[in-house]
Amino acid sequence: MIAGQGQRVRSRFSLFADPMIAVLVAATLAALAWPALGEDRANWQVISNAAIFLLFLLNGMRVARGEIARAVANWRFFLVLFIWVFAVMPLAGLAVSKLAVDVLPPLVALGFLYLGVLPSTVQSATSYSTLAKGNIALSVVGAALINIIGVFLSAPLFALLGGGEVAELGNGVAVRIALILVLPFVLGQMLQGWTRNWIVARKGKIAWIDRLVIGIAVYVAFSGAVEQGLETMFDGLGWVTLVGLVIAYLAFAKIGAWLTSRVVGYPREDGIAFLFAAAQKSIAVGAPLAAILFKPEAAGFVIAPLLIYHLLQLVVAAPLASYLARTGP
């Protein structure tokens, strides 16, 4: 019995306990070994856009309209979460990008600003809040609403803070965001009265659709970066520097979010929900949005910090959640 429990604990905290890690690693390695180039990449981009449309349609079906209303009603929690995600984290990302521009390729350094403006990831925030014995309802609602706002706010915020020269932010990209991200989400909201129960009952299978869509977006982005010389642009010290800066940014996000929840005076359960909703960055929004905002030859460089951050946050989150669960009242 004890041995079986020990095996489950080891499995939970193994590097590939979250299948998303395996998908991201596989997509990155595939792009390095067999990048989609030229006309092939154009075809993959069409496939990626169609898959992103499906992803946001499913998101619209999943996020209950009542949850959005409850999040707005709990303004004390949501307002602080909004300020942290869309003010503090972007400014911190901007600071890191300025610091990194002398030691990393400019597009990779700019990736820290892009990382900073992204919203939280709903599934991860909810899972780890549950494991840590936090306020699950607040985590679900807060992260979901932040994600919805991020679809509209992340791109203009990125441009405002200095990324407008790299991102395509004219009328064309606004139309693409509306057609590929906003329209399917709205359609999903309209259809959820007939489809939400069906979606929720099959959430395990639907999660694999999410992962596949994100994997395709990462593959297309990194294919463009490989074509532009990603492998030769970094030496060993460059990779160490990039990972080190991501670790520092992740530490700031986790520690800062927890201290903010203490200063504001949230109960411990609400503080745990705030921690994971505020610090878990969403590649589910980041990779698809990058596919729309950036040219293929730039997107892979810009999302490099996001990819590493996402992998590290998944590795760190489970032990952190377990610690909070053990040390709680």
Domains of the chain: 39-324 (1.20.1530.20)
Rounded mean pLDDT, 52-59: 78
Distance of CA 137 to the CA centre of its chain: 20
Identity of the highest mean pLDDT range in 14-23, 173-182, 210-219: 210-219
d(CA 295, CA 301): 11
Read off φ and ψ for residue 120, nearest 5 degrees.
-80, 165
Rounded mean pLDDT, 230-239: 71
CB 301 within 8 Å of CB 225: yes
A 10 A CB-CB count for 211 gives: 17
Name which residue leads in pLDDT, 236 or 266: 266
Q: DSSP string covering 255-290, please?
A: HHHHHHHHHHT--HHHHHHHHHHHH-B-HHHHHHHH
Rounded mean pLDDT, 235-251: 90
pLDDT of residue 244: 95
CB 103 within 8 Å of CB 113: no
What separation in angstroms does the CA of 234 have from each of 163, 180, 259, 308?
Answer: 22, 33, 35, 15
Sequence-distant (≥ 6) Cβ neighbours of residue 204 within 8 angstroms: none
CB 183 within 8 Å of CB 55: no
d(CA 221, CA 233): 16
Tokens 């032990």, residue located: 319
Rounded mean pLDDT, 72-80: 79
What is the overall mean pLDDT for the chain? 79
Instruction: Identify the band that residue 65 occupies on the pLDDT scale cut at 50, 70 and 90.
Output: low
Instruction: Identify the band that residue 67 occupies on the pLDDT scale cut at 50, 70 and 90.
Output: low
Convert the pLDDT of each residue in 86-108 to its tens digit: 999 999 999 999 999 888 888 89
Residue 110 in this model has a pLDDT that exceeds 60: yes
Q: DSSP string covering 292-312, please?
A: HHS-HHHHHHHTHHHHHHHHH
Nearest one of 113, 58, 60 to 294, comparing CA atoms = 113
